[in-house]
Amino acid sequence: MRLKDKVAIITGAGSGIGQASAIIFAREGAKVCVADYNIKGAEETAQKINEEMSAKGGSASRGKKVAFAFKVDVSKEDQVDNMVKTTVEQFGTVDILVNNAGINEFIPFPLVQPDDVKKIMDVNFMGAFLCIKAVLPIMTEKMYGKVVNVTSIMSVIAGKGQAAYNASKGALKMLTQSMSVDLGCYGINVNAVGPGMTRTTLTKQLFSNQDMVKWFEEKIPLGRLGNPEDIAPAILFLASDEARYITGETIFVDGGMIATR
């Protein structure tokens, strides 16, 4: 019960890494706002959590939900503010924010248009920025908070056709470091997890090509692609008080791929 009585907001929690994180957070005692633009996925995640907790005899079995779904476009400030407001109304506060929502498009740089860059930056970077700003008054008032940004190994490794995505994740990695300097005096830890090649909705098309899968597996020391369940425990660790003296860091969970570069 490493997150007992804690309240977390996890964006992009309707599938993949966000979903796996929401589930493990609830198992460790947290109440969770399952936020996603894909409301169907968010509702399925929240339902799965509440059913599991109810079966285990948790608070959901006593008529209190452990998780609720919320539809949000993290690039829209009013929607983000409403997400935080609703979480406080449901659970009383916010202790943990996991910025996991993200998008990508594979476009060779000569073909990239300004709108393509803006779209990706608005979600991957500005979305995290807006979410952090929205929870900041709550966390600074109680002098406690955990922020975990989900970046990528692509924040430090360039990928073909991913200029905008690389830039957005690199910016988020540096935002993590900068915020840790500014917010440490408020008792707020700001860290990041950088997943490697992981099977998620975002990479489904890429990994439908078995030759591509084989190519990546040969470059990963552990010899396989990652799964969301491989990434979520690192997010959990940084969101817990076990990581109370860690801030401004990025933990890469990549099967050792960066070590080969």
Residues assigned a catalytic role:
165
Q: Say how far apart CA 208 and CA 199 lie, in whole Å.
A: 10
CB 241 within 8 A of CB 259: no
Buried b (16+ CB within 10 A) or exposed e, 68-102: bbbbbbbbbbebbeebbebbeeebebbbbbbbbbb
Answer for the pair 98, 11: CB distance below 8 angstroms, yes or no: yes
Residues 75 and 84 sit within 8 Å (Cβ to Cβ): no
* Distance from chain centroid for Cα 137: 20
Q: How far apart are CA 67 and CA 47, in angstroms?
A: 8
CA distance 4 to 11: 20
C-alpha span between 14 and 32 (Å, rounded): 12
